[in-house]
Structure 1
């Protein structure tokens, strides 16, 4: 009986993590400019909004693990591939922190001077 309660608690935590991940990805996709998707050569903004919106809906309504995992994969693809590309074409990344294109991982590169 204790194990059943433990398993239910773990399942609830996993479902919550899936939901938070998908909602976060949906909000970030919603906030990005439409032309940034085209400039980054990614799928359209409406495509990602539909995919991530369905993911959120599945995580809220249907408790089928394989659908939740498919939605998690879509969210991870957005975070790992699409979002960095959008940030790069939108002027995000090093430009926001005040770095230049000659900055290396340990500071500015000055050509050995």
Structure 2
């Protein structure tokens, strides 16, 4: 079975869409960055370096310094699929990120988004 094309898509090509979605709802790029760094363990500088290198999603998550142990608390539906039911690890991580960005755009408080 062929890999989903999101795996080979660069994070840098999707990132502006995450930021635009958040900003349309009155949220900020800083909040998007905070979510991504919380989920992956990248520092802001490391994250920006990944964007500059045009790293694809598969590599981005495979090389993540420390995936947040609280990410398993992320529940809900993205693109009609329950994130907690996704078996393929990389796709689950991508959908976790999508879900967090959705929560940000829906106005959820950062403390709740970051599962504190």
| Fold shared per TM-score above 0.5 | no
In the superposition, the TM-score normalised over structure 2's length comes to: 0.33
In the superposition, the TM-score normalised over structure 1's length comes to: 0.34
Larger Rg: 1
More relative contact order in 1 or in 2 (CA 8 Å, sep 6+)? 2
